[in-house]
DNA sequence: ATAATAGTGTCTGTAAGACATTATATA
DNA sequence: TATATAATGTCTTACAGACACTATTAT
């Protein structure tokens, strides 16, 4: 905030990149586009775009999200992940990218964006095995860990569920995002006891067996007590918390 | 990443702002500078500066941190907090700021930076009551919550302690950052049982009473089980997790 | 001895994991 | 009826909060 302007660079732009997650068919999926122009033409990438003049970062992210999902934005969970600013991350020049994480209920179908590119839902395993443009593989990785962490400490999992939803719907979200099977009985106990996580609508959904009670999202944003994953065998290692985004918290 | 360049703005710069925390005399303190030039001349602000050409965001933050604290950087805990990009946040024009959070052991004394400004340690309560330049009050607030959350889920608290340190030293850090008294007995049990949080050096420190065993930081980055604050009365409300940085996580 | 600080042990309540059991629907 | 899914209950273990008690130093 107080350096001589001689060190300021000339060509610089700021973009937002979106990691849009959804859960469909019990699988965590991410929205990928196929780039229609260079650089990385024809390669898969995260959706995104430049921040416009006079526009908030959050607004730019919401705008891009609406363009890609064609869903009324205010419904969707959207939060900033972090900034990526390696000087070499974009061959066209210096582009700082602010990554956002969006959690969406199962959306109709892959939607074509306004730009000349094809959009598709990719399973998280497929996406991780795909070579992505720019540093999007790293962004996706950070976003995935952020999402997994969010499910532990916040009520964000419900953002994946279209209302009304059942406890089983919610559990399938956890299982898809964490990639773990959960005990249905213990899961029910935890989510129903957590204050203001979910609220019964009074309705029921009929499939085949016993009808399931329906719920809507409650007002709580944080889960107390948190709904932790397995006793942290995967997390107590020597990872860097600043890089492995908020495994407990951040963004 | 794929918008027509007509919407790109002309004058744009990227800065880093640092929230440098330390614990001295049992109090959480933050490094503030007094601005030597407009805008906000004479007002308190967070230290920071423009990102230089060809420079990584992390590098810019480390550079500023070294300038302000005159301490060999690699020692200090430094992590990105998030980006702030309100178009009106800087009256000079569009400046995107990437905020960083630094956790430092008690440093010698307020150090003057390379720029023409005075630096000082401010108690967190004083700082919160001070009118800060730009949107630095919001950044400080987010950083404080991030730091508090980090102490729950990571071993970051040890970054506040110069090695070797005692369990009491570590407890005083938690008490200062959380602003809560902790039970010494239960605290000791938790930190000594948490895997690889702290390791005994074998040495002892003599003051007056019984000599205290000395410890160094262990290799673990995450605390399992986490060391949670009170049963979340302050957190289970209706806050926005994306704004109130990672109370659980994320950030 | 007394004061001061460090460290251990015990009791109790909460919550999680494992898993048996009951409830209510469809075919 | 058999089958499938939803929901409740029980047992055990782990851990946190509260707090009594012991240990080791300086004065």
- The DSSP element (H or E) to which B33 belongs, if any, is strand B27-34
The shares of helix, strand and coil residues in chain A, as percent rounded to the nearest 5, are 30, 25, 45
CA distance B62 to B59: 5
Exposure string (b/e) for A16-38, b if CB count within 10 Å is 16 or more? bbbbbbbbbeebbbbbbbbbeee
Confidence grade of residue A20 (pLDDT, cut at 50, 70, 90): very high
Contacts of A86 in chain B (CB under 8 A): 56-57
How far from B243 is each of A126, A194, B91, CA to CA, in Å?
31, 22, 23
For the cut 50, the answer to whether the pLDDT of residue B4 exceeds it is no
Which one, of B30, B189, B12, lies nearest residue B110 by Cα?
B30
Residue B149 pLDDT exceeds 90: yes
How far off is chain B from A191, nearest CA to CA, in Å? 14
Q: Is the pLDDT of residue B247 over 90?
A: no
pLDDT band at A7 (very low <50, low <70, confident <90, very high): very low
Q: Is 60 exceeded by the pLDDT of residue A242? A: no
CB atoms under 10 Å from CB of A51, counted, come to 30
The CA angle B152-B158-B162, to the nearest 5 degrees, is 160
Q: Give the SS3 label for residue B143.
A: helix
Burial B4-39 (b: 16+ CB within 10 A, else e): eeeebbeebbbbbbbbbbbbbeebbbbbbbebeeee
Radius of gyration of chain B (CA): 19
Q: What is the 3-state secondary structure (H, E, C) of A147-205?
A: HHHHHHHECHHHHHCCCCECHHHHHHHHHHHHCCCCCHHHHHHHHHHCCCCEEEEEEEE
Q: Does the pLDDT of residue A93 top 80, yes or no?
A: yes
Q: Which two tokens stand for residue A50?
A: 């430049």
Is B251 at the interface with chain A, CB within 8 A?
A: yes
B86 within 8 A of A115, measured Cβ to Cβ: no
Name the average pLDDT for chain A. Answer: 86
State whether the Cα torsion B2-B58-A178-A200 is positive or negative.
negative
Nearest nucleotide to the CA of B228, by C1', is D16
Q: Strands B48-50 and B77-84, how do they pair?
A: unpaired
- Positive or negative, the CA dihedral A173, A178, A180, A182 is negative
pLDDT at B231 over 90: no
Q: What are phi and psi of B74, to 5 degrees?
A: -50, -25
More reliable by pLDDT, B8 or B116: B116
Residue B11 with chain A: CB contacts under 8 Å: none
Highest mean pLDDT among A161-165, B228-232, B246-250: A161-165
Predicted local confidence at residue A207, as pLDDT: 87
For A122-152, the DSSP string reads EEHHHHHHSPBSTTHHHHHHHHHHHHHHHHH
Nucleotides of D under 7 A from a protein CB: 3-10, 15-20, 23-27
Instruction: Answer yes or no: do B248 and A153 touch at CB < 8 A.
Output: yes
* 8 Å CB contact between A185 and A192: no
Rounded to two decimals, what is the model's pTM?
A: 0.89
Residue A79 has pLDDT above 80, yes or no: yes
Contacts with B, A 177-206, CB within 8 Å = 195-196
Tell me which chain B residues have a C-beta less than 8 angstroms from the C-beta of A53: 7-9, 87, 94
For residue B236, the model assigns a pLDDT of: 35
The bases of strand C with some atom under 7 A from any protein CB are 3-10, 15-20, 23-27
Query: Looking at the DSSP assignment, which residues form a beta bridge with residue A213?
Result: A204
The pLDDT value recorded for residue A250 is: 27
- DSSP reduced 3-state for B5: helix
Would you give the distance in Å from CA A64 to the centre of its chain?
14
Residue A69 has pLDDT above 50, yes or no: yes
The pLDDT of A231-241, averaged and rounded, is 40
Question: Out of A49-58, A89-98, B199-208, B242-251, which region has the weakest mean confidence (pLDDT)?
Answer: B242-251
- Evaluate if residue B11 carries a pLDDT over 90: no
| A200 CB inside 7 Å of strand D | no
When pLDDT is averaged across residues A129-135 and rounded to a whole number, the result is 97
Cβ within 8 Å, pair B117-A2: yes
């Amino acid at each position: 905030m107080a350096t001589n302007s001689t060190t300021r660079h000339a060509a610089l732009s700021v973009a937002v990149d979106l990691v849009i997650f959804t859960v469909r068919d019990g699988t965590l999926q991410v929205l990928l586009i196929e780039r229609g122009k260079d650089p990385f033409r024809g390669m898969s990438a995260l959706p995104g775009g430049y921040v416009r003049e006079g526009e908030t970062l959050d607004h730019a992210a919401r705008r891009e999200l609406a363009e890609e999902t064609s869903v009324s934005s205010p419904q969707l969970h959207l939060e900033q992940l972090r900034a990526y600013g390696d000087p070499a991350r974009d061959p066209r020049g210096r582009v700082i990218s602010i990554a956002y994480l969006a959690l969406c209920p199962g959306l109709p179908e892959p939607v074509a964006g306004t730009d000349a590119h094809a959009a598709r839902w990719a399973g998280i395993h497929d996406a991780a095995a795909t070579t992505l443009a720019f540093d999007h593989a790293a962004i996706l990785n950070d976003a995935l860990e952020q999402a997994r962490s969010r499910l532990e400490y916040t009520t964000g999992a419900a953002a994946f569920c279209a209302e009304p939803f059942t406890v089983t719907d919610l559990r399938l979200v956890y299982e898809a995002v964490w990639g773990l099977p959960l005990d249905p009985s213990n899961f029910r106990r935890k989510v129903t006891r957590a204050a203001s996580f979910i609220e019964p609508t009074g309705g029921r959904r009929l499939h085949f067996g016993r009808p399931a009670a329906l719920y809507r999202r409650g007002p709580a944003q944080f889960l107390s007590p948190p709904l932790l994953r397995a006793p942290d065998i995967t997390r107590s290692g020597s990872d860097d918390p600043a890089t492995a985004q908020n495994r407990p918290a951040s963004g």
